[in-house]
Chain A
Amino acid sequence: MENLLNIFIKSIFIDNMIFAYFLGMCSYLAVSKTVRTSVGLGIAVTFVLLITVPVNYLIDTYLLKKGALSWLGASFADLDLSFLSFMIFIAVIAAMVQIVEMVIEKFSPALYNSLGIFLPLIAVNCAILGASLFMQEREYHGIAEVTSFALGSGIGWFLAIVGLAAIREKLRYSNVPAPLRGLGITFILVGLMAIAFMGLMGIKL
Protein backbone atom coordinates (compact mmCIF):
# COMPACT_ATOMS: atom_id res chain seq x y z
CA MET A 1 0.00 0.00 0.00
CA GLU A 2 2.79 2.36 0.95
CA ASN A 3 4.51 1.50 -2.27
CA LEU A 4 1.41 2.39 -4.28
CA LEU A 5 1.07 5.76 -2.59
CA ASN A 6 4.74 6.35 -3.24
CA ILE A 7 4.36 5.73 -6.99
CA PHE A 8 1.22 7.86 -7.04
CA ILE A 9 2.81 10.92 -5.43
CA LYS A 10 5.99 10.48 -7.42
CA SER A 11 4.19 10.43 -10.75
CA ILE A 12 2.17 13.54 -9.88
CA PHE A 13 4.95 15.79 -8.65
CA ILE A 14 8.39 14.46 -9.39
CA ASP A 15 8.00 12.65 -12.71
CA ASN A 16 5.35 15.08 -13.89
CA MET A 17 4.48 14.36 -17.51
CA ILE A 18 4.67 18.00 -18.55
CA PHE A 19 7.42 19.46 -16.42
CA ALA A 20 9.86 16.58 -16.40
CA TYR A 21 9.24 14.94 -19.78
CA PHE A 22 7.35 17.52 -21.88
CA LEU A 23 4.77 14.95 -22.88
CA GLY A 24 1.48 16.13 -24.32
CA MET A 25 3.00 19.53 -24.93
CA CYS A 26 1.18 20.30 -28.17
CA SER A 27 -2.33 20.11 -26.80
CA TYR A 28 -1.04 21.54 -23.52
CA LEU A 29 -0.01 24.76 -25.24
CA ALA A 30 -2.94 24.85 -27.65
CA VAL A 31 -5.82 24.26 -25.24
CA SER A 32 -4.62 26.16 -22.18
CA LYS A 33 -6.14 29.51 -23.08
CA THR A 34 -9.04 29.29 -20.63
CA VAL A 35 -9.46 27.40 -17.37
CA ARG A 36 -12.82 25.94 -18.42
CA THR A 37 -11.59 24.07 -21.47
CA SER A 38 -8.37 23.01 -19.81
CA VAL A 39 -10.29 21.37 -16.97
CA GLY A 40 -12.22 19.39 -19.58
CA LEU A 41 -9.10 18.26 -21.39
CA GLY A 42 -7.34 17.45 -18.12
CA ILE A 43 -10.17 15.18 -17.00
CA ALA A 44 -10.31 13.48 -20.39
CA VAL A 45 -6.55 12.79 -20.37
CA THR A 46 -6.66 11.39 -16.84
CA PHE A 47 -9.59 9.18 -17.76
CA VAL A 48 -8.00 7.77 -20.91
CA LEU A 49 -4.66 7.23 -19.14
CA LEU A 50 -6.41 5.34 -16.37
CA ILE A 51 -7.89 2.93 -18.91
CA THR A 52 -5.19 2.53 -21.54
CA VAL A 53 -2.10 2.08 -19.38
CA PRO A 54 -3.42 -0.94 -17.41
CA VAL A 55 -4.78 -2.49 -20.63
CA ASN A 56 -1.43 -2.02 -22.33
CA TYR A 57 0.27 -3.46 -19.26
CA LEU A 58 -1.80 -6.63 -19.53
CA ILE A 59 -1.09 -6.91 -23.24
CA ASP A 60 2.60 -6.34 -22.68
CA THR A 61 2.87 -8.89 -19.86
CA TYR A 62 0.78 -11.65 -21.38
CA LEU A 63 1.44 -11.24 -25.10
CA LEU A 64 4.45 -9.16 -26.05
CA LYS A 65 7.26 -9.47 -23.54
CA LYS A 66 10.03 -12.00 -23.92
CA GLY A 67 8.64 -15.24 -22.59
CA ALA A 68 5.18 -13.78 -22.12
CA LEU A 69 3.57 -16.31 -24.37
CA SER A 70 4.73 -19.28 -22.27
CA TRP A 71 1.14 -19.83 -21.08
CA LEU A 72 0.41 -21.07 -24.62
CA GLY A 73 2.85 -23.94 -24.30
CA ALA A 74 6.56 -24.62 -24.08
CA SER A 75 7.23 -23.98 -27.76
CA PHE A 76 6.13 -20.36 -27.39
CA ALA A 77 8.21 -19.72 -24.28
CA ASP A 78 11.09 -17.88 -25.89
CA LEU A 79 9.16 -15.73 -28.34
CA ASP A 80 9.85 -12.02 -28.02
CA LEU A 81 7.29 -9.77 -29.69
CA SER A 82 8.26 -6.58 -27.92
CA PHE A 83 9.27 -4.87 -31.16
CA LEU A 84 5.56 -4.80 -31.97
CA SER A 85 4.74 -2.83 -28.87
CA PHE A 86 4.59 0.63 -30.54
CA MET A 87 2.07 -0.57 -33.06
CA ILE A 88 -0.06 -2.48 -30.53
CA PHE A 89 -0.01 0.33 -27.97
CA ILE A 90 -1.08 3.00 -30.42
CA ALA A 91 -3.80 0.72 -31.78
CA VAL A 92 -5.09 0.04 -28.27
CA ILE A 93 -5.06 3.75 -27.50
CA ALA A 94 -6.90 4.70 -30.66
CA ALA A 95 -9.47 1.95 -30.12
CA MET A 96 -9.90 2.77 -26.42
CA VAL A 97 -10.43 6.43 -27.14
CA GLN A 98 -13.13 5.48 -29.62
CA ILE A 99 -14.83 3.14 -27.14
CA VAL A 100 -14.59 5.60 -24.27
CA GLU A 101 -16.11 8.24 -26.49
CA MET A 102 -19.07 6.03 -27.37
CA VAL A 103 -19.63 4.88 -23.78
CA ILE A 104 -19.56 8.42 -22.43
CA GLU A 105 -21.88 9.63 -25.15
CA LYS A 106 -24.38 6.90 -24.26
CA PHE A 107 -24.30 7.07 -20.49
CA SER A 108 -23.34 10.61 -19.63
CA PRO A 109 -24.21 13.13 -22.34
CA ALA A 110 -23.37 16.00 -19.97
CA LEU A 111 -19.77 14.85 -19.55
CA TYR A 112 -19.61 14.11 -23.27
CA ASN A 113 -20.62 17.64 -24.14
CA SER A 114 -18.13 19.16 -21.75
CA LEU A 115 -15.27 17.06 -23.15
CA GLY A 116 -16.36 17.85 -26.69
CA ILE A 117 -13.73 17.57 -29.39
CA PHE A 118 -10.93 16.80 -26.94
CA LEU A 119 -11.66 13.10 -26.68
CA PRO A 120 -10.71 12.12 -30.24
CA LEU A 121 -7.67 14.41 -30.08
CA ILE A 122 -6.34 12.47 -27.13
CA ALA A 123 -5.45 9.51 -29.36
CA VAL A 124 -2.47 11.48 -30.63
CA ASN A 125 -1.54 13.05 -27.31
CA CYS A 126 2.03 12.03 -26.53
CA ALA A 127 1.30 11.81 -22.81
CA ILE A 128 -0.90 8.76 -23.36
CA LEU A 129 1.54 6.77 -25.49
CA GLY A 130 4.40 8.08 -23.35
CA ALA A 131 2.83 6.71 -20.18
CA SER A 132 2.46 3.28 -21.78
CA LEU A 133 6.09 3.33 -22.92
CA PHE A 134 7.31 4.46 -19.50
CA MET A 135 5.23 1.69 -17.96
CA GLN A 136 7.09 -0.76 -20.19
CA GLU A 137 10.50 0.75 -19.52
CA ARG A 138 10.26 1.13 -15.74
CA GLU A 139 9.03 -2.42 -15.17
CA TYR A 140 6.34 -1.90 -12.57
CA HIS A 141 5.18 -4.99 -10.75
CA GLY A 142 1.53 -5.87 -10.88
CA ILE A 143 -1.53 -4.12 -12.15
CA ALA A 144 -2.06 -2.10 -8.95
CA GLU A 145 1.25 -0.27 -9.30
CA VAL A 146 0.58 0.42 -12.96
CA THR A 147 -2.87 1.80 -12.21
CA SER A 148 -1.58 4.11 -9.52
CA PHE A 149 1.15 5.30 -11.89
CA ALA A 150 -1.46 6.00 -14.58
CA LEU A 151 -3.75 7.88 -12.21
CA GLY A 152 -0.86 9.89 -10.82
CA SER A 153 0.41 10.87 -14.27
CA GLY A 154 -3.09 11.92 -15.27
CA ILE A 155 -3.59 14.07 -12.20
CA GLY A 156 -0.15 15.60 -12.67
CA TRP A 157 -1.07 16.54 -16.23
CA PHE A 158 -4.42 17.92 -15.08
CA LEU A 159 -2.79 20.13 -12.43
CA ALA A 160 -0.21 21.37 -14.90
CA ILE A 161 -2.71 22.41 -17.55
CA VAL A 162 -5.13 24.06 -15.13
CA GLY A 163 -2.27 25.98 -13.54
CA LEU A 164 -0.99 27.23 -16.87
CA ALA A 165 -4.48 28.20 -18.02
CA ALA A 166 -5.03 30.21 -14.84
CA ILE A 167 -1.80 32.11 -15.38
CA ARG A 168 -2.56 32.74 -19.04
CA GLU A 169 -5.96 34.19 -18.19
CA LYS A 170 -4.25 36.72 -15.93
CA LEU A 171 -1.55 37.33 -18.49
CA ARG A 172 -4.04 38.88 -20.85
CA TYR A 173 -3.96 42.03 -18.72
CA SER A 174 -0.22 42.45 -18.71
CA ASN A 175 2.01 44.20 -21.17
CA VAL A 176 4.18 41.58 -22.82
CA PRO A 177 6.81 42.69 -25.40
CA ALA A 178 5.23 42.26 -28.83
CA PRO A 179 7.54 39.54 -30.24
CA LEU A 180 7.08 37.45 -27.10
CA ARG A 181 3.30 37.68 -27.11
CA GLY A 182 1.37 34.44 -27.33
CA LEU A 183 3.64 31.47 -27.87
CA GLY A 184 6.96 32.91 -26.71
CA ILE A 185 5.85 34.01 -23.27
CA THR A 186 3.94 30.76 -22.82
CA PHE A 187 7.12 28.76 -23.33
CA ILE A 188 8.98 30.85 -20.80
CA LEU A 189 6.05 30.56 -18.39
CA VAL A 190 6.04 26.77 -18.63
CA GLY A 191 9.79 26.82 -18.06
CA LEU A 192 9.38 28.87 -14.89
CA MET A 193 6.57 26.60 -13.68
CA ALA A 194 8.82 23.61 -14.31
CA ILE A 195 11.56 25.22 -12.20
CA ALA A 196 9.05 25.65 -9.41
CA PHE A 197 8.01 22.00 -9.70
CA MET A 198 11.66 20.99 -9.45
CA GLY A 199 11.63 22.22 -5.89
CA LEU A 200 9.73 19.00 -5.12
CA MET A 201 12.46 16.83 -6.58
CA GLY A 202 14.39 16.37 -3.37
CA ILE A 203 11.47 14.67 -1.63
CA LYS A 204 12.39 11.14 -0.67
CA LEU A 205 9.38 8.93 -0.29
Chain B
Amino acid sequence: MSTPEKEPLLSAKNLKLLTSPVGKNNPITVQVLGICSALAVTVKLKPALVMALSVTIVVAVSNVVISALRSRIPDRIRIIVQLVVIATLVIIVDQVLKAYAFDVSKQLSVFVGLIITNCILMGRLEAFAMSNSPWKSFLDGLGNGAGYGLILIIVGFFRELLGSGTVMGYPVIQKLGLYSAGYENNGMMILPPMALILVGLIIWVQRSRDKSLIENK
Protein backbone atom coordinates (compact mmCIF):
# COMPACT_ATOMS: atom_id res chain seq x y z
CA MET B 1 0.00 0.00 0.00
CA SER B 2 1.38 3.37 -0.93
CA THR B 3 -0.78 5.41 1.42
CA PRO B 4 1.48 7.10 3.98
CA GLU B 5 -0.96 7.15 6.94
CA LYS B 6 -0.99 3.96 8.93
CA GLU B 7 -4.01 1.75 8.56
CA PRO B 8 -5.32 0.07 11.71
CA LEU B 9 -4.35 -3.60 11.74
CA LEU B 10 -7.90 -4.85 11.50
CA SER B 11 -9.60 -2.16 9.46
CA ALA B 12 -12.87 -2.97 7.72
CA LYS B 13 -11.00 -3.59 4.47
CA ASN B 14 -8.57 -6.00 6.08
CA LEU B 15 -11.34 -7.79 7.88
CA LYS B 16 -13.03 -8.30 4.55
CA LEU B 17 -9.90 -10.08 3.28
CA LEU B 18 -10.42 -12.53 6.09
CA THR B 19 -14.15 -13.11 5.69
CA SER B 20 -14.83 -12.96 1.98
CA PRO B 21 -13.00 -16.23 1.11
CA VAL B 22 -15.13 -18.06 3.66
CA GLY B 23 -18.35 -17.22 1.86
CA LYS B 24 -18.69 -15.20 -1.30
CA ASN B 25 -15.22 -15.88 -2.63
CA ASN B 26 -14.73 -19.41 -1.35
CA PRO B 27 -11.61 -21.05 -2.80
CA ILE B 28 -13.34 -24.35 -3.53
CA THR B 29 -16.87 -23.50 -4.56
CA VAL B 30 -16.21 -20.18 -6.32
CA GLN B 31 -12.55 -19.92 -7.29
CA VAL B 32 -12.31 -23.68 -8.10
CA LEU B 33 -8.92 -24.00 -6.44
CA GLY B 34 -7.50 -26.84 -4.42
CA ILE B 35 -10.07 -29.47 -5.20
CA CYS B 36 -7.42 -32.07 -5.87
CA SER B 37 -6.55 -32.89 -2.31
CA ALA B 38 -9.76 -31.60 -0.76
CA LEU B 39 -11.98 -34.52 -1.64
CA ALA B 40 -9.86 -37.55 -0.93
CA VAL B 41 -9.28 -36.73 2.74
CA THR B 42 -12.92 -36.20 3.71
CA VAL B 43 -14.03 -39.77 4.43
CA LYS B 44 -13.69 -39.02 8.13
CA LEU B 45 -13.88 -35.70 9.95
CA LYS B 46 -10.54 -35.99 11.74
CA PRO B 47 -8.20 -36.19 8.73
CA ALA B 48 -10.30 -33.46 7.11
CA LEU B 49 -9.67 -31.20 10.11
CA VAL B 50 -5.94 -31.95 10.13
CA MET B 51 -5.74 -31.31 6.40
CA ALA B 52 -7.63 -28.03 6.71
CA LEU B 53 -5.31 -26.90 9.48
CA SER B 54 -2.17 -27.88 7.56
CA VAL B 55 -3.28 -26.07 4.42
CA THR B 56 -4.23 -22.96 6.40
CA ILE B 57 -0.83 -22.83 8.06
CA VAL B 58 1.06 -23.39 4.81
CA VAL B 59 -0.96 -20.89 2.81
CA ALA B 60 -0.76 -18.18 5.49
CA VAL B 61 2.98 -18.55 6.11
CA SER B 62 3.94 -18.89 2.45
CA ASN B 63 1.83 -15.84 1.65
CA VAL B 64 3.79 -13.86 4.24
CA VAL B 65 7.18 -15.11 3.03
CA ILE B 66 6.49 -14.47 -0.65
CA SER B 67 4.90 -11.13 0.09
CA ALA B 68 7.95 -10.06 2.10
CA LEU B 69 10.23 -11.15 -0.74
CA ARG B 70 8.02 -9.92 -3.55
CA SER B 71 10.17 -6.99 -4.67
CA ARG B 72 13.32 -9.15 -4.71
CA ILE B 73 12.05 -12.14 -6.68
CA PRO B 74 12.94 -11.91 -10.38
CA ASP B 75 9.78 -12.31 -12.39
CA ARG B 76 11.07 -15.13 -14.58
CA ILE B 77 11.91 -17.55 -11.79
CA ARG B 78 9.07 -16.68 -9.45
CA ILE B 79 7.27 -20.01 -9.93
CA ILE B 80 10.31 -21.96 -8.83
CA VAL B 81 10.88 -19.66 -5.85
CA GLN B 82 7.25 -20.07 -4.84
CA LEU B 83 7.46 -23.84 -5.19
CA VAL B 84 10.60 -23.99 -3.04
CA VAL B 85 9.01 -21.90 -0.28
CA ILE B 86 5.87 -24.04 -0.35
CA ALA B 87 7.80 -27.31 -0.48
CA THR B 88 9.90 -26.30 2.53
CA LEU B 89 6.81 -25.49 4.58
CA VAL B 90 5.11 -28.71 3.53
CA ILE B 91 8.14 -30.76 4.55
CA ILE B 92 7.97 -29.13 7.99
CA VAL B 93 4.24 -29.84 8.29
CA ASP B 94 4.77 -33.42 7.14
CA GLN B 95 7.55 -34.05 9.66
CA VAL B 96 5.50 -32.52 12.49
CA LEU B 97 2.48 -34.66 11.59
CA LYS B 98 4.65 -37.79 11.44
CA ALA B 99 6.04 -37.01 14.87
CA TYR B 100 2.87 -36.00 16.73
CA ALA B 101 -0.06 -37.51 14.84
CA PHE B 102 1.30 -40.57 13.13
CA ASP B 103 -2.03 -42.35 12.55
CA VAL B 104 -3.57 -39.30 10.88
CA SER B 105 -0.45 -38.82 8.80
CA LYS B 106 -0.75 -42.43 7.62
CA GLN B 107 -4.41 -41.83 6.66
CA LEU B 108 -3.53 -38.70 4.71
CA SER B 109 -0.77 -40.64 2.91
CA VAL B 110 0.39 -38.78 -0.19
CA PHE B 111 -2.05 -35.94 0.26
CA VAL B 112 0.18 -34.05 2.69
CA GLY B 113 2.83 -33.94 -0.02
CA LEU B 114 0.24 -32.87 -2.51
CA ILE B 115 -0.33 -29.64 -0.58
CA ILE B 116 2.65 -28.46 -2.65
CA THR B 117 0.66 -28.61 -5.85
CA ASN B 118 -2.56 -27.49 -4.20
CA CYS B 119 -3.77 -24.77 -6.51
CA ILE B 120 -4.93 -22.61 -3.59
CA LEU B 121 -1.30 -21.98 -2.73
CA MET B 122 -0.06 -21.04 -6.17
CA GLY B 123 -3.28 -19.22 -6.89
CA ARG B 124 -3.14 -17.02 -3.80
CA LEU B 125 0.60 -16.41 -4.12
CA GLU B 126 0.24 -15.31 -7.73
CA ALA B 127 -2.99 -13.39 -7.35
CA PHE B 128 -2.49 -11.80 -3.96
CA ALA B 129 0.85 -12.11 -2.19
CA MET B 130 2.90 -10.92 -5.18
CA SER B 131 1.18 -7.53 -5.03
CA ASN B 132 0.24 -6.94 -1.39
CA SER B 133 1.89 -6.28 1.96
CA PRO B 134 2.77 -9.18 4.30
CA TRP B 135 0.04 -8.45 6.86
CA LYS B 136 -2.70 -8.31 4.23
CA SER B 137 -1.30 -11.48 2.65
CA PHE B 138 -1.35 -13.19 6.01
CA LEU B 139 -5.04 -12.33 6.47
CA ASP B 140 -5.78 -13.44 2.92
CA GLY B 141 -4.01 -16.74 3.58
CA LEU B 142 -5.92 -17.32 6.81
CA GLY B 143 -9.21 -16.47 5.12
CA ASN B 144 -8.62 -18.79 2.21
CA GLY B 145 -7.44 -21.56 4.49
CA ALA B 146 -10.61 -21.12 6.55
CA GLY B 147 -12.83 -21.16 3.46
CA TYR B 148 -11.14 -24.33 2.26
CA GLY B 149 -11.43 -25.83 5.74
CA LEU B 150 -15.12 -24.99 5.98
CA ILE B 151 -15.96 -27.00 2.87
CA LEU B 152 -13.74 -29.87 4.01
CA ILE B 153 -15.43 -29.95 7.39
CA ILE B 154 -18.95 -29.89 5.93
CA VAL B 155 -18.15 -32.68 3.48
CA GLY B 156 -16.21 -34.67 6.09
CA PHE B 157 -19.00 -34.32 8.66
CA PHE B 158 -21.73 -35.61 6.35
CA ARG B 159 -19.62 -38.40 4.88
CA GLU B 160 -18.61 -39.68 8.29
CA LEU B 161 -22.08 -39.30 9.83
CA LEU B 162 -23.98 -40.92 6.98
CA GLY B 163 -21.28 -43.35 5.91
CA SER B 164 -19.94 -44.71 9.17
CA GLY B 165 -22.49 -43.39 11.67
CA THR B 166 -19.87 -41.59 13.75
CA VAL B 167 -18.67 -38.03 14.33
CA MET B 168 -14.96 -37.69 15.16
CA GLY B 169 -15.02 -41.43 15.96
CA TYR B 170 -17.93 -41.08 18.42
CA PRO B 171 -20.77 -43.47 17.49
CA VAL B 172 -23.65 -40.98 17.32
CA ILE B 173 -26.13 -43.12 15.42
CA GLN B 174 -25.59 -46.09 17.71
CA LYS B 175 -26.09 -43.93 20.80
CA LEU B 176 -29.32 -42.55 19.38
CA GLY B 177 -30.50 -46.13 18.96
CA LEU B 178 -31.31 -45.73 15.30
CA TYR B 179 -29.78 -49.08 14.32
CA SER B 180 -32.33 -50.99 16.32
CA ALA B 181 -35.02 -48.93 14.56
CA GLY B 182 -33.84 -50.36 11.24
CA TYR B 183 -31.44 -47.59 10.14
CA GLU B 184 -28.41 -48.63 8.13
CA ASN B 185 -25.24 -46.81 7.21
CA ASN B 186 -25.00 -45.65 3.63
CA GLY B 187 -21.88 -47.35 2.34
CA MET B 188 -21.98 -45.16 -0.75
CA MET B 189 -20.92 -42.15 1.32
CA ILE B 190 -17.51 -43.65 2.04
CA LEU B 191 -16.73 -44.07 -1.65
CA PRO B 192 -14.95 -41.28 -3.52
CA PRO B 193 -17.77 -40.27 -5.94
CA MET B 194 -20.01 -39.04 -3.14
CA ALA B 195 -17.46 -36.39 -2.16
CA LEU B 196 -17.82 -34.85 -5.61
CA ILE B 197 -21.58 -34.99 -5.52
CA LEU B 198 -21.65 -33.45 -2.03
CA VAL B 199 -19.49 -30.54 -3.20
CA GLY B 200 -21.84 -30.16 -6.16
CA LEU B 201 -24.76 -29.93 -3.76
CA ILE B 202 -22.94 -27.40 -1.56
CA ILE B 203 -22.38 -25.26 -4.66
CA TRP B 204 -26.07 -25.59 -5.50
CA VAL B 205 -27.12 -24.43 -2.03
CA GLN B 206 -24.64 -21.56 -2.01
CA ARG B 207 -25.66 -20.30 -5.44
CA SER B 208 -29.36 -20.55 -4.72
CA ARG B 209 -28.83 -18.30 -1.73
CA ASP B 210 -26.56 -15.88 -3.55
CA LYS B 211 -27.84 -15.29 -7.06
CA SER B 212 -24.86 -13.15 -8.05
CA LEU B 213 -22.67 -16.27 -8.21
CA ILE B 214 -24.76 -17.99 -10.88
CA GLU B 215 -22.75 -18.59 -14.07
CA ASN B 216 -24.04 -17.45 -17.41
CA LYS B 217 -23.65 -19.88 -20.22
> Nearest Cβ in chain B — how far from A191, in angstroms?
4
> Nearest Cβ in chain A — how far from B209, in angstroms?
9
Bound complex: CA A129 to CA B196 (Å): 21
> Nearest Cβ in chain B — how far from A84, in angstroms?
8
Which B28-47 residues have C-beta < 8 A from chain A?
29, 32-40
Bound complex: CA A188 to CA B203 (Å): 10
Q: Which residue of A lies closest to B206 (CB)?
A: A179
Asked whether B207 is an interface residue with its Cβ less than 8 Å from the other chain, the reply is yes
Centre residue among B109, B119, B211 by max chain A CB count within 10 A: B119
Q: List B contacts of A183 (CB < 8 A).
A: 29, 32, 203, 215
Among B80, B84, B200, B207, point to the contact of A191 (Cβ < 8 A). B200
Q: List B contacts of A137 (CB < 8 A).
A: 109-110
> Nearest Cβ in chain A — how far from B85, in angstroms?
11
Q: List A contacts of B34 (CB < 8 A).
A: 26
Asked whether B171 is an interface residue with its Cβ less than 8 Å from the other chain, the reply is no
> Nearest Cβ in chain B — how far from A200, in angstroms?
13
Q: Mark A154-194, 1 if CB is under 8 A from B, else 0.
A: 00000000000000000010000111111111111011101
Question: How many residues belonging to A are interface residues under a CB distance threshold of 8 Å?
Answer: 48
Asked whether B91 is an interface residue with its Cβ less than 8 Å from the other chain, the reply is yes
Asked whether B72 is an interface residue with its Cβ less than 8 Å from the other chain, the reply is no
On chain B, which size bracket covers the interface?
35 or more
Beta-carbon contact of A29 and B36 below 8 Å = no
Q: Which residue of A lies closest to B214 (CB)?
A: A178
Bound complex: CA A194 to CA B88 (Å): 34
Q: Which residue of B lies closest to A85 (CB)?
A: B113
Q: List A contacts of B203 (CB < 8 A).
A: 179-180, 183-184, 187
Which A115-140 residues have C-beta < 8 A from chain B?
123-126, 128-130, 133-134, 137
Beta-carbon contact of A129 and B116 below 8 Å = yes
Q: List A contacts of B90 (CB < 8 A).
A: 86
Stretch at the interface among B12-20, B162-170, B187-195: B187-195
Beta-carbon contact of B200 and A187 below 8 Å = yes
Beta-carbon contact of A188 and B200 below 8 Å = yes
Say yes or no: A198-B191 contact (C-beta < 8 A), given A26-B32, A87-B87.
yes
Centre residue among B83, B122, B192 by max chain A CB count within 10 A: B192
Say yes or no: A172-B36 contact (C-beta < 8 A), given A86-B113, A124-B122, A191-B200.
no
Say yes or no: A180-B207 contact (C-beta < 8 A), given A22-B36, A26-B119, A133-B113.
yes
Asked whether A23 is an interface residue with its Cβ less than 8 Å from the other chain, the reply is yes
Beta-carbon contact of A179 and B207 below 8 Å = yes
Asked whether B95 is an interface residue with its Cβ less than 8 Å from the other chain, the reply is yes
Beta-carbon contact of B197 and A181 below 8 Å = no
Q: Mark A8-20, 1 if CB is under 8 A from B, else 0.
A: 0000000000011
Say yes or no: A179-B204 contact (C-beta < 8 A), given A124-B119, A126-B117.
yes
Beta-carbon contact of B35 and A22 below 8 Å = yes
> Nearest Cβ in chain B — how far from A152, in angstroms?
17
Beta-carbon contact of A134 and B88 below 8 Å = no
Known: A23-B36, A25-B35, A129-B113. 5 other contacts (CB 8 A): A94-B79, A124-B79, A126-B117, A129-B114, A191-B197
Q: Which residues of A contact B (CB under 8 A)?
A: 19-26, 29-30, 83-87, 89-91, 94, 123-126, 128-130, 133-134, 137, 172, 177-188, 190-192, 194-195, 198
Can you identify 20 A-B contacts, CB atoms within 8 angstroms? A19-B193, A25-B39, A86-B90, A86-B91, A87-B84, A90-B83, A90-B87, A123-B79, A130-B110, A130-B114, A179-B214, A181-B214, A182-B217, A183-B29, A184-B200, A186-B200, A187-B197, A191-B193, A191-B195, A192-B197
